[in-house]
Amino acid sequence: MTREEDIRRAIETMRNGGVILYPTDTVWGIGCDATNPEAVAKVYKIKQRDDSKALICLVDSDARLQRYVRNVPDVAWQLIDCAENPLTVILDGATGLAPNLIADDGSIALRITNEPFSKELCYRFQKAVVSTSANISGQPAAQNYCDIAQELLDAVDYVCWSRRQEHKPHKPSSIVRLRVNGEVEIIRQ
């Protein structure tokens, strides 16, 4: 299957409210349309995760990130620009996303992906895509396709073909919490 066809099928699945497994700029992810509350609820169920624990969303660009946060602090752009590895930023003032994706304090975790497959997926979908590690909550994240539990493969609506043969170490992104008042908290390095 070509990457083009793989992305087309993943997008069609998400547009129909489905859940996908896909390669990201970090580990393999469980994804869906970040604006669809029913699809987000499916991700929480598949992951067996309490919906009070927020999920990360991937976007393809600075402009798309700004679509989902009322005011992005300057320090966020500085951190994103100088990050050498994938960086997820938790920002206040989330907007335009499924309500069950936004934390109780109104924040959202977003990451701009530069990995070719996930970047093109986000670009062509034209919306934020949920990106939570492909594992049952509390289990190790799937670094590669071969690490994904059969239970997850059976639970989703589409499993991407791209990068399935890859066998190399991957790790989750760093996570930094940025508040409007300028406070910075490192959640995960």
Structural domains in the chain, CATH included, are 3-188 (3.90.870.10)
User: What per-residue confidence (pLDDT) applies to 182?
Assistant: 76
User: What per-residue confidence (pLDDT) applies to 54?
Assistant: 82
What pLDDT digit, counting tens, does each position of 24-58 carry?
999 999 999 999 999 999 999 999 988 777 899 99
What are residue 36's phi and psi, to 5 degrees?
Answer: -105, 105
User: What per-residue confidence (pLDDT) applies to 6?
Assistant: 98
Q: Are strands 29-31 and 132-133 parallel, antiparallel or unpaired?
A: antiparallel
| 3-class DSSP string for the chain | CCHHHHHHHHHHHHHCCCCEEECCCCCCEEECECCCHHHHHHHHHHHCCCCCCCCEEEECCHHHHHHCECCCCHHHHHHHHHCCCCEEEEECCECCCCHHHCCCCCCEEEEECCCHHHHHHHHHHCCCEECEECCCCCCCCCCCHHHCCHHHHHHCCEECCCCCCCCCCCCCCEEEEECCCCCEEEEEC
Name the stretches of the chain with pLDDT < 50: none
Whole-angstrom CA distances from 19 to 5, 42, 125, 170 are: 17, 7, 14, 22
Average pLDDT for the chain: 94
What letter represents residue 93's amino acid? Answer: G
User: What per-residue confidence (pLDDT) applies to 173?
Assistant: 93
Contact 107, 91 (CB under 8 A): yes
User: What per-residue confidence (pLDDT) applies to 7?
Assistant: 98
Nearest-10 crossing angle of helices 116-125, 3-15: 40
Burial of 109 (0-12, 13-18, 19+ CB in 10 A): buried
* Measured distance CA(141)–CA(148) in Å, rounded: 8
Contact 14, 39 (CB under 8 A): yes
